[in-house]
Amino acid sequence: QKEVEQDPGPLSVPEGAIVSLNCTYSNSAFQYFMWYRQYSRKGPELLMYTYSSGNKEDGRFTAQVDKSSKYISLFIRDSQPSDSATYLCASNSGGFKTIFGAGTRLFVKA
Amino acid sequence: NAGVTQTPKFQVLKTGQSMTLQCAQDMNHEYMSWYRQDPGMGLRLIHYSVGAGITDQGEVPNGYNVSRSTTEDFPLRLLSAAPSQTSVYFCAISTSQGEREAFFGQGTRLTVV
């Protein structure tokens, strides 16, 4: 079992929709949770990060962590075609052992 | 301010050949890492460094070698390329405690035939 599991998709939504991207993890020691966005043939870009449980909001993006269920979520409001990319979740217990999910491909149709 | 620069962008090697993937950063970060990305596998850590002269192994270090003589550069060497090393390689710089990768390079696409 991978330490961080992510549905590969693809997920296809119309422009303006609310997108929900999810991951599960198995390591109870994980304290740091990240979301990266990766456009085709580019390097990952850090989108959001949280420490421990709770929500964090940045513009149209909200990251949510539920440590009791080991569930990580990213919500995108008012999705745009420019949001079409692969989204990677990642977790870390602190110190150079970041574990990445395999990524979910998202397509936002105009 | 270029951030993290990787060269080359593309490379084709024959089995058994060796090569060095270059990574340079101009952000004065102490902590740097190398990852490989394969379909369905996500990013996997190969080696990382917490500063000049200090390196350590990650999840998939076999067949790779690293050294860190300066803060700016962190090259990755393939000693004897194998088809299983066909992948996209990313260099990253991490935050001060290593709790997340802050910036990635644009990647090197390597094919071993």
What's the average pLDDT block by block, 10 residues per block, for chain B (113 residues)?
90 97 94 94 93 94 96 96 98 84 95 98
Q: Residue written as tokens 């909200």?
A: A62
Task: Using a CB–CB cutoff of 8 Å, tell me whether B19 touches chain A.
Answer: no
A19 forms bridges with which residues in the sheet?
A76
Task: Please answer yes or no on whether A43 and B40 come within 8 Å at the CB atom.
Answer: no
Taking CB atoms and an 8 Å cutoff, what residues of chain A touch B100? 32, 34, 46, 49, 90, 92, 98
Tell me the CA distances in angstroms from B25 to A25, B3, B30, B71, B94, one per residue in order.
Answer: 31, 6, 10, 8, 11
CA distance A102 to A22: 12
Tell me the CA distances in angstroms from A26 to A12, A44, B104, one per residue in order.
Answer: 27, 23, 26
Task: Using a CB–CB cutoff of 8 Å, tell me whether B99 touches chain A.
Answer: yes
Taking CB atoms and an 8 Å cutoff, what residues of chain A touch B48? 96
Among residues A51, A49, A46, A36, the alpha carbon closest in space to that of A86 is found at: A36
pLDDT, position B1 = 59
A83 or A1: whose pLDDT is higher?
Answer: A83
Taking CB atoms and an 8 Å cutoff, what residues of chain B touch A41? 107
In the structure, what pLDDT confidence band is assigned to residue A1 with cuts at 50, 70 and 90?
confident
pLDDT, position A86 = 97
pLDDT at A28 over 80: yes
CA distance A89 to B99: 14
* The token pair that represents A91 in the structure block: 């977790």
Taking CB atoms and an 8 Å cutoff, what residues of chain B touch A24? none
The predicted model gives A13-42 an average pLDDT of 96
Convert the pLDDT of each residue in A34-77 to its tens digit: 999 999 999 999 999 998 888 999 999 999 999 999 999 999 99
CA distance B62 to B99: 24
pLDDT, position A97 = 81
Amino acid at A95: G
Q: How many CB pairs under 8 A join A and B?
A: 68
Query: Could you tell me whether strands B10-13 and B108-112 are parallel, antiparallel, or unpaired per DSSP bridges?
Result: parallel
* The token pair that represents A47 in the structure block: 């989108």
